[in-house]
Amino acid sequence: MQQTDRRQFLKLAGLAGVTFTAGLFPRGPADAQSGDFHFVQFSDTHWGYKGAANPDAEHTLERAVATVNGLATKPDFIVFTGDLTHTTDDGKLRRERMQRFKEIVSALSVKDVRFMPGEHDASLDKGEAFKEFFGATHWTFDHKGVHFIALDNVSDPGAKLGDEQLAWLAADLKQRKTDDRIVVFTHRPLFDLVPNWDWATADGAKAVALLMPYQNVVVFYGHIHQEHHHMTGHIAHHAAKSLIFPQAAPGTAPKRPPPPPFDASLAPLGTRDVAMAKAVTITELPVVKA
Amino acid sequence: MNRRLFAALLIGGAASGAARLLAATEPGIEVSVAASRFEYTPDKVKGKVGVPLTFVLTSLDRIHGFKMPEFGIRTDIVPDKETRVTITPTKPGTFTFFCDIFCGDGHEDMAGTLVVEG
Ligand SMILES: [Cu+2]
């Protein structure tokens, strides 16, 4: 589906809370044996944030956890794509925030929960505290015929993956067939979404180039605090909403504007359900059930 | 310096050579910008189309970045060191420069504006 078609689709569907069939995997599943399943993506929870952009910050994450626990069919796993905590210069406070965050999300009834860092978690200490609480900052796993890869473009404060991680990615991809189903998680966009707002990854194009030979690749990321869909060639990139405050739409001003005023309905916030079958179907989930 | 140009300068004699050298390295505009968490001072800079503009960058606290995607430049700014980057605007307009090294709670707002006049 072309970008304009997608926009049209979203418009027709009324934007909020739509089920979005991403039209992928473009070549269909490589493995006819693989079962359908779904997972849930949380992003940009910014635990510890205090400010006017979200006076409900102390409860928003708990509300989202309750909503996801109430889903009719349990997801197979849950992934957090970074900015679990809001940044602080104080290493002790950072660890307290990570501890409290961990306690809150331990209420999730799904126990397969995977974590990635965002720049707020990892850029000031190169991922040191994150690793203490959540383990590796980049990793892979396989689930029901799909290969998942989490890339870390935040532990380097210059928003780089770095040559070492790119070599690790290349080595991992070498073991895949070109029609394998591959899902990539990142925090920041791997492509130049808005370079002037620093909505990019310094060496993200290198990762996209490594992924290009593979026909069935979908990327899920966070960082921009809103739903967004973009294609680099045949690879789709889907940005998720935040659980703290939304950001301005990409590129709407030369400098990134401050977040919009707080919406007490929490409608601009949420998580998302991703169903993996012949197609990838994204359903945006509200923080609280309507 | 290009070797041929250097040879031409030598042959052309000291006086005219010096004049040509000056023309080739027109100083343009120089502007000092200090980076600190989470701002640039000044955060508004003026430039002119066709006139080289050199940013003389210093940091008052920690490492910061300085990036202008429209001009294809970026650099680190480290404390106790002057970092110089030169651009030559080719069109009038308003352009953004910003910090691309995460520096704390407020980093996202660390940006400034270059206004280029025709
Ligand atoms: Cu900075």
Instruction: Tell me the ipTM for this assembly.
Output: 0.87
Chain B residues touching residue A155 (CB < 8 angstroms): none
Is the residue at B21 inside a domain? no
B68 Cα to the center of ligand 1, angstroms? 14
The amino acid occupying position B74 is R
Give the list of residues 6+ apart from residue A139 with CB closer than 8 angstroms, or none. A114, A149, A150
Please check the confidence at residue B16 and state whether its pLDDT lies above 50.
Answer: no
Domain residue limits at B87: 28-117
B16 in a structural domain: no
| pLDDT over 70 percentage in chain B | 77
Find the CATH number of the domain harbouring B110: 2.60.40.420
The segments of chain A whose pLDDT lies below 70 read: 1-35, 290
Asked if the structure places residue B13 within a domain, the reply is no
The answer to whether residue B108 is domain-embedded is yes
What is the total count of domains within chain B?
A: 1
Q: Enter the tokens of residue A118.
A: 């965002």
CA distance B74 to B85: 8
pLDDT at residue A289 in the model: 82
Taking the C-alpha atoms of residue A97 and residue A93, their distance in angstroms, rounded to an integer, is 6
| B2 domain-assigned | no
For ligand 1, the distance from its centroid to the CA atom of residue B35, given in whole angstroms, is 7
Per the listing, tokens 């953004």 go with B96
Interchain contact, A158 vs B111, CB within 8 Å? no
Assess if residue B1 is contained within a domain.
Answer: no
* Cα–Cα distance measured from residue B98 to residue B39, given in angstroms and rounded to the nearest whole number: 9
Question: B100 and A198: CB-CB below 8 Å?
Answer: yes
Size of interface A-B (CB pairs under 8 A): 45
Q: Say if B87 falls within a structural domain.
A: yes
Residue A46 and residue A121: Cα distance in Å, rounded? 9
Among the partner residues B95, B100, B109, nearest to A158 by beta-carbon distance = B100
Q: Is A86 within 8 Å of B105 when comparing Cβ atoms?
A: yes
Q: Contact, A54 vs A245, CB < 8 A?
A: yes
pLDDT for res B25: 54
pLDDT at B23 over 50: no
Say how far apart CA B57 and CA A234 lie, in whole Å.
41
Residue with the two structure tokens 């640039």: B40
Dump pLDDT digits (tens) for A71-102.
999 999 999 999 999 999 999 999 999 999 99
B86 in any annotated domain: yes
Taken in order of first residue, the domains within chain A and their CATH numbers are: 3-26+35-285 (3.60.21.10)
**Lookup result for tokens 């990409």:** A250
Angle ∠(A29,A33,A39) on CA atoms, nearest 5? 65
pLDDT, one tens digit per residue, over A130-181 is 999 999 999 999 999 999 999 999 999 999 999 999 999 999 999 999 999 9
**Per-residue model confidence (pLDDT) at position A22:** 56
